Amino acid sequence: MLFVVIAFLGVSLFLYCLLGGADFGAGVLELFLGKSRQEAQRKIIDKAMGPVWEANHMWLILMVVILFMGFPAVYTRVSVNLHIPLTAMLVGIIARGCSFTFRHYDAVKGRSQRAYTAFFVFSSVWTPFCLGVVMGALVPGGIDPAARDYASAYVSPWLRPFPLALGLFTVCLFTFIAAVYLVGECPGDDGLRRSFARKARWASVASIVSGWIVFAGAHADGVPLLAEFLGFGWAFAFMTAATACFGVLWVALYRDWIWTARVMVGAQVALILAGWFQVQHPVLVRMPAGDLTFFNAHAPAATLNQLGGALLVGSVFILPALLWLFLVFKSEEGEEKPVVG
């Protein structure tokens, strides 16, 4: 069952980065809507994300549940030492979900819309940045349970080059995912489609650049990322493939091959995570005095069996329902039922 649980953790992380990422990225894109046709672009974003954003963020909850039930030692260690970035992320999650919903459901569409948008855009940048910082802090070994003073226990684990660089990369990558997704969400409007495709290309450049910053950050932090990537055959292959996807993507964006572009983005995210997994495995949290790994931090077998069972049974309900949700919103709207009295 341990492997079932690990698989679900991986799949949840992947889907959160892809679906939740597209959702965050859409918020970031609102920063770059340009002068003309702002409203139309915002409408596209609203329409594409409105029905699905809550479901997209459930993958995060699933990850948290898997961690604290399956790997309680990891959950607690991370909660203690990364209190500050996690709290910062939570405030972002709250601000983002609320402002997005309030913007849509405020009965009066007046000046308050500007305030919601400001909160929404800011928290859309802030939250994935914090997420990246938290993920990055697991790698360089800055989390030290023995640390006693405030700075080394609660600040230096995350306030260092690698986590910060990964935060930046996360924001860029999510923006890229969103832009590619939105290209396919404006049927019949070539102007908007071209504008999202242009944003996607810029975001891909930003992702590549920030990807190199991650490698630089790793070097500065003493993480032998480059060496590890070059040393491990698979990780190197994954990264090369992920970079190669950019080439196909650019062509696809020029030619309007919407599904090719989407599949490529999904493949990229999967490859990046697979590469990361390959480098980290089996370590979850690197620590000076002994890492927490999949094999030394997991819960007892009875708990893992329950968790694995719950995940398997749950996915029987969740996955078809999710598919249905996505399909329904690709369908056309029908006629309204007539009113009798």
Partner 1 sequence: MSDLLAARAQMALSLGFHIIFAAIGMAMPFLMAISHYRWIRTGRRVYLDLTKAWSRGVAIFFATGAVSGTALSFELGLLWPGFMEHAGAVIGMPFSWEGTAFFIEAIALGLFLYGWNRLKPWTHWAVGLVVGISGVLSGVFVVCANAWMNSPAGFDWVAATASTPGHAINIDPFRAMFNDAWKAQTLHMTISAFEATGFAVAGIHALLFLRRPSPFHREAFTIALAVGAIAAIAQPLSGDLLAKGTAERQPIKLAAMESHFETSARAPLLIGGIPDEKTGTVRYGLEIPGALSYLAHGDFNAEVKGLNDFPRENWPPVAPVHYAFQIMVGCGMILAGIGALGLFLLAFKRWRPLLYHRRYLVPCVLATPLGFIALEAGWTVTEVGRQPWIIYGVMRTAEAVTPMPGLVVPFLLFSAVYVFLTGVVTWLLWRHIATVEEKYPSAREGA
Please give the residues from 56 up to 85 whose contact with partner 1 meets the rule CB under 8 A: 57-58, 60-62, 64-66, 68-70, 72-73, 75-76, 78-80, 83
Rounded distance between C-alpha atoms, residue 106 and residue 113, angstroms = 8
Rounded to the nearest 5°, which phi and psi values hold at 293? -120, 170
For residue 313, how many C-alpha atoms fall within 13 Å in the half-sphere facing its CB?
6
Q: Which is nearer to partner 1, 107 or 289 (CB)?
A: 107
Do residues 206 and 53 make contact, with C-beta atoms less than 8 angstroms apart? no
Considering the rule CB under 8 A, would residue 90 count as an interface residue with partner 1? yes
Question: Could you say which residues in the range 309-328 bind partner 1, by CB under 8 A?
Answer: 310-311, 313-314, 317-318, 321-322, 324-325, 328
Q: Per CB under 8 A, does 216 bind partner 1?
A: no
Using CB atoms within 10 Å of the CB of residue 172, give its burial: 0 to 12 exposed, 13 to 18 middle, 19+ buried.
Answer: buried
Span near partner 1 by CB under 8 A; candidates 47-55, 172-180, 225-233, 270-278: 47-55
Nearest to 189 by CA among 249, 264, 260, 256: 256
Please pick, from the candidates 11, 33, 40, 154, the single residue that binds partner 1 as defined by CB under 8 A. 154
Which residues have CB under 8 Å from 230's CB, separation 6+? 236
Residue 10 binds to partner 1 (criterion: CB under 8 A): no
Instruction: In angstroms, give the least distance from the CB of 329 to partner 1.
Output: 7
State which of positions 276-305 bind partner 1 (CB under 8 A): 299-300, 302-303
| Extended strands (E) in the chain | 283-285, 292-293
Shortest Å, Cβ 141 to partner 1? 20
337 contacts partner 1 (rule: CB under 8 A): yes
SS3 170: helix
Kindly state the smallest distance separating residue 318's Cβ from partner 1, in Å.
5
Helix (H, G, I), strand (E, B) or coil at 140: coil
If you write DSSP's letter for every residue of 198-235 in order, what string do you get?
HHHHHHHHHHHHHHHHHHHHHHHTT--HHHHHHHSHHH
Using the contact rule CB under 8 A, the part of the chain among 102-110, 184-192, 225-233, 251-259 near partner 1 is: 102-110
CB of 207 to partner 1, least distance (A): 26
Binding partner 1 (rule: CB under 8 A), the pick from 108, 146, 151, 289 is 108
Question: What's the min distance (Å) between Cβ of 205 and partner 1?
Answer: 32
Point out which span in 51-59, 163-171, 245-253, 260-268 binds partner 1 (CB under 8 A).
51-59
Whose Cβ is closer to partner 1: residue 82's or residue 214's? 82
In the set 28, 86, 192, 242, which binds partner 1 (CB under 8 A)? 86
Q: Which is nearer to partner 1, 76 or 293 (CB)?
A: 76
> Taking CB under 8 A as the criterion, which residues in 129-148 touch partner 1?
none
Q: How far is the CB of 17 from partner 1 (least distance, A)?
A: 17
- Is 94 a binding residue for partner 1 by CB under 8 A? The answer is yes
Dist. CA 315–CA 331, nearest whole Å = 24
Torsion angle of C-alpha atoms 244, 248, 251, 255, degrees rounded to 10: -170
Q: Should residue 341 be labelled a site residue for partner 1 when binding is judged by CB under 8 A?
A: yes
Separation of alpha carbons 54 and 215, rounded Å: 33
Distance CA 141, CA 222 (A): 10
Residue 103 makes contact with partner 1 by CB under 8 A: no
151 near partner 1, judged by CB under 8 A: no
* DSSP, residue by residue, 8-25: HHHHHHHHIIIIIHHHHH
Please say which residue, 50 or 184, places its beta carbon nearer to partner 1. 50
